[in-house]
Structures are given as structure tokens and as C-alpha cells.
């Protein structure tokens, strides 16, 4: 029983990782409001390697329509600007010494619809990950029964528990998607 609970907890944790990854992806999808999270997924080619932008700069939002990136090393400023400009975020950075300012452009209706589709794609990828973990859990349960480690009653009980865990995470993903799409459309 203890081993079974440990495995169920592990599968639950793997599913939660998919939900957490979706939350991180959603930070990279912009609404009309400036957000530090918008730039966090960006990587900068600097010092001979791909480095997260927050390891070479400080990112702030002094107001709802502006993001300010303060680059620590002047030699990395061009690389940070390039990473922002070449991202698919549609941002136009303005460089002033080691400071990069980004004015958030107003989203068009067409761009809002595109972003809601991107959010839906990310959510579907997370659901696939959760379902794959569910499949792995069910395979483990069947294998355990075949090896005589658990009874048929245990199989039914554990299968039901795995399904409840899966349903909870899928519902959380759906809720996150609805909120993100609402944020995008209302802006």
C-alpha cells in the first residue's frame, strides 16, 4: 500500500509539472499589459552560450505599458536587444546605453485571436503530457497486477485514483486556458 501511494504521488507530481510548464508558457504570451514574465522565456546568445535573459539583466515594469531591461554588462546589450527583437513577441526595443525600453503596442483584434490559438495549442500540449503520464501509470498498474504485486481490487481502486488525478489536472489546465484567453481578449 505504501509503495502504491508513493507511485500515485509520483504520477501526480509528473502531471503537476505539465501544469507548471503551461503556466510558464502562458507568461510568454502577452496581453496588453507589460509583464516581466513576458521576457522570462527568452534566451540570449552571450559569452559563447545561450543564457536566460534574467541572468544578464534586470527586468522591470515601471508602468502598465512599458518594460525596462537593465543589462548588467554593456557588451551584452546588443545580444539582449537582438533576442527581444527576434522573438515572436512582436516587440520593438529601444536601446539607451545599457537600458532597453519596450513600449507595449496595442494588440489588434486579429493578433488577439492568434494569441488565443497559441494559448490553446500550449494547453493541448500540456493535456497530452498529462495523458501520457496517465498511460504510464495505467501501464505500471497492469504490470504490477501481472507480476502478482497487487490484487484485482487494487487495480480498480488505483485506476480510479489515477483517473481522478488526471481529471483534476485536465480541469486545472482548462481553467488556466479560459483565464488566459479572457486576459488576451480583454487586454
Res 2: pLDDT: 44
Grid cell, residue 133, equals 503520464
Rounded-to-integer distance, Cα 183 and Cα 167, Å: 24
Whole-number Å distance between alpha carbons of 78 and 92:
13
Report the pLDDT value the prediction gives residue 26, as an integer from 0 to 100: 86
**Lowest mean pLDDT segment, chosen from 9-18, 20-29, 32-41, 66-75:** 32-41
pLDDT at 187: 60
All cell numbers assigned to 33: 499589459
The pLDDT of residue 108:
82
* pLDDT above 90 coverage of the chain, percent: 50
| Per-residue confidence (pLDDT) for residue 168, from 0 to 100 | 97
Confidence band (pLDDT; 50, 70, 90) for 115?
confident
Residue 184: its pLDDT value, please?
Answer: 86
Measured distance CA(64)–CA(48) in Å, rounded: 34
Range 51-60 burial, b when 16+ CB lie within 10 A, else e? bebeebbebe
135: pLDDT strictly greater than 90: yes
Q: Rounded to two decimals, what is the model's pTM?
A: 0.70
Confidence of residue 4 (pLDDT cuts 50, 70, 90): low
Q: How confident is the model at residue 162 (pLDDT cuts 50, 70, 90)?
A: very high
d(CA 50, CA 160): 44
Closest CA to 105 of 113, 96, 114, 93: 93
Q: Is the pLDDT of residue 50 over 80?
A: yes
Going from the N-terminus, what domains does the chain have, and what CATH number goes with each?
A: 2-27+108-186 (1.10.132.20), 36-103 (3.30.1360.40)
Amino acid at each position: 500500500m505504501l509503495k502504491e501511494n508513493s507511485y500515485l504521488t509520483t504520477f501526480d507530481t509528473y502531471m503537476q509539472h505539465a501544469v507548471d510548464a503551461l503556466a510558464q508558457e502562458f507568461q510568454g504570451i502577452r496581453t496588453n499589459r507589460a509583464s516581466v514574465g513576458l521576457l522570462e522565456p527568452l534566451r540570449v546568445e552571450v559569452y559563447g552560450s545561450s543564457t536566460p535573459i534574467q541572468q544578464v539583466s534586470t527586468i522591470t515594469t515601471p508602468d502598465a505599458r512599458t518594460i525596462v531591461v537593465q543589462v548588467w554588462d554593456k557588451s551584452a546589450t546588443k545580444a539582449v536587444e537582438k533576442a527581444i527583437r527576434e522573438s515572436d513577441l512582436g516587440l520593438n526595443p529601444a536601446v539607451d546605453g545599457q537600458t532597453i525600453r519596450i513600449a507595449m503596442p496595442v494588440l489588434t483584434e486579429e493578433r488577439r485571436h492568434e494569441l488565443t490559438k497559441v494559448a490553446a495549442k500550449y494547453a493541448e500540449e500540456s493535456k497530452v503530457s498529462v495523458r501520457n503520464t496517465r498511460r504510464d501509470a495505467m501501464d505500471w498498474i497492469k504490470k504490477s497486477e501481472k507480476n502478482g504485486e497487487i490484487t484485482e481490487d487494487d487495480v480498480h481502486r488505483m485506476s480510479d485514483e489515477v483517473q481522478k488525478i488526471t481529471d483534476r489536472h485536465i480541469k486545472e489546465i482548462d481553467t488556466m486556458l479560459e483565464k488566459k484567453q479572457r486576459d488576451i481578449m480583454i487586454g
